[in-house]
């Protein structure tokens, strides 16, 4: 059971809701993923087209916890405003702090992320900051009181997978709050690897929504995260330089 703040989850897959081919496919993908946490962004409504469909209308709201992000914020002040707007919906207490500091790499701004996290914690939010894989920054976010730490595996939407497993391992080892690997996951292998490293969960979006078959990929990610988690709990063997036979070396029956 994964616990974040007051919330408890059976599923360790957090699923983004962006860029699916259509709502039907998205709904099926969400269903088979068995996720309990859906992320969203907050944007202006098109007031001249009130009948535009919205994914929230397609799902049973009480089946999920919503994790709005503050994507679009360039500093702490904007992130706090977006978080408060999301909270005023009455649909969520959690927020993913996301302050982008570089338009090309979409890497998070560490200083503004810290500031926003501090302000939102003081306001009573359940705060899950999206951060780089910087080990010291992750510790400082936890010291502020963040309810989970969400280090990126690689740049958002890049699908490059885990480019610095050592840093992730350090972040996971030192953390006393859940670590959710967020961003950059490309394939089920990456998700399983994150879980094998000891992550408490994985947040992904494009890896599913951009797959040739998003519904199939959603199931693959679910299974990969379960497999990675089980593997982590079971404890993998040490790596050795040379072969160690798995069949007995004596008692071999040789003719003559």
18, two tokens:
């962006």
28, 55, 78, 216: residue in contact with other proteins (rule CB under 8 A): 55
Residues 32, 156 contacting (CB under 8 angstroms): no
Is 96 considered catalytic here? yes
Smallest separation (angstroms) from other proteins to the CB of 224: 18
Which of the stretches 13-21, 28-36, 221-229, 236-244 binds other proteins when contact is defined by CB under 8 A?
13-21
Residue 126 binds other proteins (CB under 8 A): no
Residues sharing a CB contact under 8 Å with residue 20, sequence separation 6 or more, in sequence order: 26, 29, 209, 214
Smallest separation (angstroms) from other proteins to the CB of 59: 11
Residue 53 binds other proteins (CB under 8 A): no
Residue 89 binds other proteins (CB under 8 A): yes
Residues sharing a CB contact under 8 Å with residue 29, sequence separation 6 or more, in sequence order: 15, 20, 208, 209, 214, 215, 217, 218
CA–CA gap between residue 146 and residue 29 (Å, rounded): 30
Residues 198, 230 contacting (CB under 8 angstroms): no
Residue 122 binds other proteins (CB under 8 A): no
**Known binder of ligand: residue 16?**
no
**Known binder of ligand: residue 183?**
yes
Smallest separation (angstroms) from other proteins to the CB of 196: 23
How many residues in the shown chain lie near other proteins by CB under 8 A?
38
Residues 180, 200 contacting (CB under 8 angstroms): yes
Residues 25, 58 contacting (CB under 8 angstroms): no
Residue 256 binds other proteins (CB under 8 A): no
73, two tokens:
């914020």
Given 96, 115, 140, 240, the catalytic residue: 96
**Known binder of ligand: residue 124?**
no
CA–CA gap between residue 164 and residue 186 (Å, rounded): 14
Residue 131 binds other proteins (CB under 8 A): no
Smallest separation (angstroms) from other proteins to the CB of 91: 7
- Using CB under 8 A, list all residues that contact other proteins: 16-20, 26, 39-45, 47, 50-51, 54-57, 66, 68-69, 71, 84-86, 88-91, 156-157, 183, 203-206
């Amino acid at each position: 059971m994964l616990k974040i703040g007051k919330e408890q989850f059976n599923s360790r897959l957090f699923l983004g809701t962006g860029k699916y081919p259509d709502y039907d496919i998205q709904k099926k993908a969400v269903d088979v993923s068995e996720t309990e946490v859906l992320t969203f962004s907050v944007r202006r409504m098109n007031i001249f087209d009130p009948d535009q469909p919205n994914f929230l209308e397609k799902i049973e709201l009480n089946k999920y916890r919503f994790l709005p992000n503050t994507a679009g914020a360039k500093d702490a002040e904007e992130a706090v405003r977006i978080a408060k707007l999301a909270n005023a919906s009455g649909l969520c207490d959690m927020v993913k702090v996301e302050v982008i500091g570089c338009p090309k790499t979409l890497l998070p701004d560490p200083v503004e992320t810290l500031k926003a996290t501090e302000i939102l914690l003081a306001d009573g939010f359940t705060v899950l900051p999206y951060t780089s894989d910087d080990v010291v920054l992750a510790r400082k976010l936890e010291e502020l009181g963040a309810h989970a730490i969400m280090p990126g595996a690689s740049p958002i939407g890049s699908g490059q997978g885990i480019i610095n497993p050592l840093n992730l391992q350090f972040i996971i080892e030192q953390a006393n709050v859940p670590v959710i690997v967020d961003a950059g996951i490309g394939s089920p292998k990456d998700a399983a690897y994150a879980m094998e490293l000891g992550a408490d969960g994985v947040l992904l979006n494009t890896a599913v929504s951009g797959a040739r078959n998003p519904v199939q990929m959603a199931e693959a990610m679910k299974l990969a995260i379960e497999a990675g988690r089980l593997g982590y709990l079971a404890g993998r063997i040490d790596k050795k330089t040379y072969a160690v036979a798995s069949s007995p070396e004596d008692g071999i029956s040789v003719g003559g």
